[in-house]
Structures are given as C-alpha cells and as structure tokens.
Structure 1
Amino acid sequence: MVIDSHQHFWIYDSVRDSWITPEMEKIRQNFLPEDLKPVLAANGVDGCVAVQADQSNSETEFLLQLAEANDFIKGVVGWIDLRADNLYDRLEVCSQFEKLKGFRHIVQGEPDDFLLQPDFIKGVGQLVAFDFTYDILVYPTQLTASYTFAKQLPKVKFVLDHIAKPYIKKGEMDTWAKDIKKLAELPNVYCKVSGMVTEADWYSWQNADFVPYLDTVLEAFGTDRLMFGSDWPVCLVAAEYSAMKDVLANYLSKLSKNEQNKVWGENAVKFYALD
C-alpha cells in the first residue's frame, strides 16, 4: 500500500492563508478531496494523511468532516492548544474520532526555543495517554531544540516534517545534517521525506539537488523510520505531484523492494495506526 503521509486541504481565505505569498499564486485557490483523489489514483497512491494548515479547532473539525466523507483519507493530523489547562479533557473528547491520529503546531513560525516551554512539553506528553502522535514542523535552526524537546518525551511518537526544510536552494547542509543525525538518535522520532521541492529552486531544480539530503536522512533514520509525503498542494509551486514523487522513486530504486515498501507506505501505516 502506498500512503501519502502529508498533504493539506483548504478553502482559500486571503486573510487566514496570508502565508501563501504572491509568488505562490498557483495555490491561491481551494483544494479539496475531489481535487486530490484523481491525482492520487494517477500516481498509484492508495490513501493519504491530511495535515492541518491552520491553527484552530475549526481546522481539525473541517479535516475530520472531509475524512469521514472520503475513505481515501486514512488519517488526520489536527491542531489543538497543547498548552490549555483543560487539555486532557479535550484530548479525551478527540479520542472518540477514529481517524484523528495526532496533532501539529506550526513551530516554524515561532521562536527557536518554543518547543522548550515547560507547558508545551507537558501538553505534548499528555498525547501518550490517547496514543496520539505529534508532527514536528521546524526550520533547521530549530533542530537543536527539537532534539532536547523530544528527548524529554521518549514515549511520544514523533515525526519530523519535510526533513526540517533544509536550505536546498543554497546547497547548505552541514549544520542541518549534524542536527538531523542527532535527532535521529532518538528511536521514537520518524521523518517524512516531503516538501523538498519547495526548498529547492522552484524553476530549475534537478533530481541531483536532493541526493545529498536524501543520503543524510536515509543514513540517519534508516528505512524503518522514513515515510513518503507530498506536501500537496504546496508542492505545486515547484512541481506537479508526479514529478515530486519521481524524485523519491528514482532515489529509492537502489533499495530492495521490501525497503521501498516501508518508505512508500508501511511506515506511515504503522506510525499513524492507519486502517
């Protein structure tokens, strides 16, 4: 089974979605299940995990409604205020939704030490009681804090989104690689091979641009803790779905079929407990 472990849906709102800058005009529109379903079918993808793009309870409700109506949406990573005083009670309510698998905070938009706040650490720690996962969305400068954060929560299942958005366009990777390898020492941390094309030159990237970064995460996490993700529709600013998927397909072709199957879907099924 092939699972896209990371994609988004939205009804475009120019105020709420102000992060979609003018040069990203291509994605300043609605993206809904009826838009993604034929794309997945054309690319041999069996299902997906819908991840929050807005930090609101209504976003989680929106994604759950879409998942309920569309079988190919296998799981949802929503948003919840992880610092709320009544978090445990709210998580208990959330646990009633079978397709709600975990949560994410857009830490890339926060100060570099955001993850080290005691109330945030405490909140993420409460996810364990309900078998919820946590997606780590950070920039390379936040990887050191990510390691300190995750090390304090060994029972939480973490996955690093977009290989931490390295500076592929600039070809910079030394500090990122060192910090990635450190984070990967924690056995409860997985990594999504996603979002790479948007960190490269949108108009002239080549497959070779990604090889050093893919080599690094493969060496660090191994094939048991890597999972494919598209970051659709964000990826469309730099590549069509098929081109983005081919980057990983070409790279993984050197591995055994068993190893490839893990990255393409088995690891995502295991991590998110997908049906």
Structure 2
Amino acid sequence: MRIDSHQHFWIFNAERDAWITDEMKAIRQNFLPIDLAAVLKSNGIDGTIAVQASQSHEETQFLVDLSTMYAMIKGVVGWVDLQSEAIAERLEHFHQYPIIKGFRHVIEAEDDPDFLTRPAFLRGIKALTAYEYTYDLLIRPRHYDSTLTCVAQNPNQRFVLDHMAKPAVRTKEFDNWAEFITKLAAFPNVHCKISGLVTEADWSNWTVDDFRPYIQHVIACFGKQRIMFGTDWPVCLVAATYEDVMNIVETILVDFSEAELQAFWGGNAAQFYGIM
C-alpha cells in the first residue's frame, strides 16, 4: 500500500483559516476528498493520512465523518485539547473511532518556546501514550529545545516530526537545523515525514537540488525505516503540484532497495499509524 502520510481537507473559512494568507490564494478555497481522488489514482497512491488543519474537536469529527464516506482516508490525525484537565474523557470519547490514529497541536503557531514542556501539555502527552495514540510534532526553531526535552521525558510515546521541522530552504540555512535533527533522531521513538518542503523554498524558483542536503541529512539520521512520504496537499499547491512533490523525493532516493522504497512510500507510515 502506498500512503501519503500528510494531507489536509477543509471547507474554507476566512476567519478560522486566517493562516491561509492572500499570497496563498491558490488554496483559499474548499478542498475535499473528491478533489484529491483522481490525483491519488494517477500517481499510484492508495490512501492518505488526513491531518488536522484547525484546532477544534469539531475538526477531528469532520475528518472522522469524511473517512466514513471515502475509503482513501486510511487514518486521521486530529486535534484534542491536550492541556485540558478532561483530556482522558475526551480521548475516551474519540477512542470509539478506530480511524483516529493520533493527534496534533499547531505548536509552530505558539510563541512560547517552552510550550511543549508545560506541565499541562506533558500531562496530555502521557494521556496519549496511555491510549496508544501517536503525536505529530509541528514546530519552529524556537521550539527545538523543548521538543527534545518533551521527547526525552516520554520514551514510550510514538512521535513523528512533520515536514522535517520546516528547514529554511529559501535562505539555505542548514547547520542549526541539522544539529537539531541529529539530536532528535537519536530517540528511537521518533519518526520523520519527508513532506512540506516546497513551501519552505522559493515558491516560484525552487529546484530539486535545493532540497537535496536536507533530505539526505534526514535519511542519514533517521535511517530508512523511520521516514515516510507526505505531500502536505493542498498546502503544497502554492509552490508545486502533487507530481512535483513526488518527483523531488523520487529524484533524491537513488540508493534505496525495492524493499526500502516500499517502506518509504507506504510501509513505514502503515506501521507507525497502525494501518492494516
């Protein structure tokens, strides 16, 4: 099974989706499974992991509801208030939906560099572990230190790093990011999505070589069993087509065996998210 480990659906709402700025006009519209189905088929992708794009329990239910109508959705990464004192009650509610594989909070939007190590947040992560849910890490450089601390304090929690921590491809900054990746990959319970890179590059003038050192470093650090393919569709459309995103990684993954390619294109995601 070939799986896109990271994509989104939404019914566009200008107020709720304020992060979609005017310069991102290509995605200031609705994106639903019917818009993606033909693209998946033409690219040989069997299914996707639908990841939350807004922070509400209604968002999680929206993705669950879509999954009942579209078999392409193999798993849902929803949102839950991890800092709530009622976190166990909320997880118990969501536990009735096997399609929910894990949760995410948009940490990158949090100004507090120590958000991941707030006592209430750490309590929420431990609740995820108890329910055997995964957690997607979406961060910026200011969160590097707290990310490492959070992961170190939760060795039994399955984490996956979204978008390779969004390296600054546009300005070719590398060293600080690379040091963080090396440290994070040392934790065996952390995986990494090779996804979301085109929007960190020059949207109009990127080349495959812009991404090569970043992807190669992630592979060297995480190995070939803890990485997975993702497009970040439809966000990627501001800078590239679905086919462009696939071509970037296809061009760079030149020394992979057939078994390793199968793992990257779907097997690793299926194992991480518990997809049969």
Structure 1 length as normaliser, TM-score?
A: 0.99
Q: For residues 166-181 of structure 1, what are the structure 2 equivalents within 5 Å?
A: 166-181=167-182
- Partner residue, 2:248: 247
- Partner residue, 1:104: 104
CA positional deviation for 1:141: 2.8
- Partner residue, 1:62: 62
CA positional deviation for 1:259: 1.1
CA positional deviation for 1:101: 0.5
What is the aligned-residue RMSD (CA, Å)? 0.7
Distance 1:157 1:136 in 2: 10
Q: For residues 64-213 of structure 1, what are the structure 2 equivalents within 5 Å?
A: 64-110=64-110, 111-213=112-214
Distance 1:250 1:215 in 2: 12
Instruction: List per-residue Cα deviations over 1:175-212 (Å, max 9, x = no partner).
Output: 00001110110000000000000000000000000010
- Partner residue, 2:43: 43
Distance 1:254 1:205 in 2: 23
Q: For residues 211-250 of structure 1, what are the structure 2 equivalents within 5 Å?
A: 211-250=212-251
- Partner residue, 2:6: 6
Gaps of 5+ in 2: none
Q: Which moved more, 1:232-241 or 1:246-255?
A: 246-255
CA positional deviation for 1:144: 2.0
CA positional deviation for 1:30: 0.3
CA positional deviation for 1:173: 0.7
- Structure 1 runs (4+) greater than 2 angstroms displaced: none
Distance 2:92 2:130 in 1: 9
- Partner residue, 1:273: 274
SS in 2 for 1:202: coil
Distance 1:107 1:134 in 2: 12
Distance 2:141 2:261 in 1: 26
CA positional deviation for 1:252: 1.2
Distance 1:90 1:29 in 2: 30
CA positional deviation for 1:65: 0.3
Contact 1:223 1:259 in 2 (8 A): yes
Distance 2:233 2:128 in 1: 27
SS in 1 for 2:68: helix
CA positional deviation for 1:257: 1.1
SS in 2 for 1:20: coil
CA positional deviation for 1:47: 0.4
Distance 1:142 1:260 in 2: 31
- Partner residue, 2:32: 32
Distance 1:65 1:269 in 2: 21
Gaps of 5+ in 1: none
CA positional deviation for 1:253: 2.8
- Partner residue, 1:260: 261
Distance 1:99 1:216 in 2: 32
- The amino acid of 2:137's aligned partner reads I
Identity %: 50
Instruction: List per-residue Cα deviations over 1:34-67 (Å, max 9, x = no partner).
Output: 0011111111101000000000010000000001
SS in 2 for 1:48: strand
SS in 2 for 1:69: coil
Contact 1:143 1:180 in 2 (8 A): no
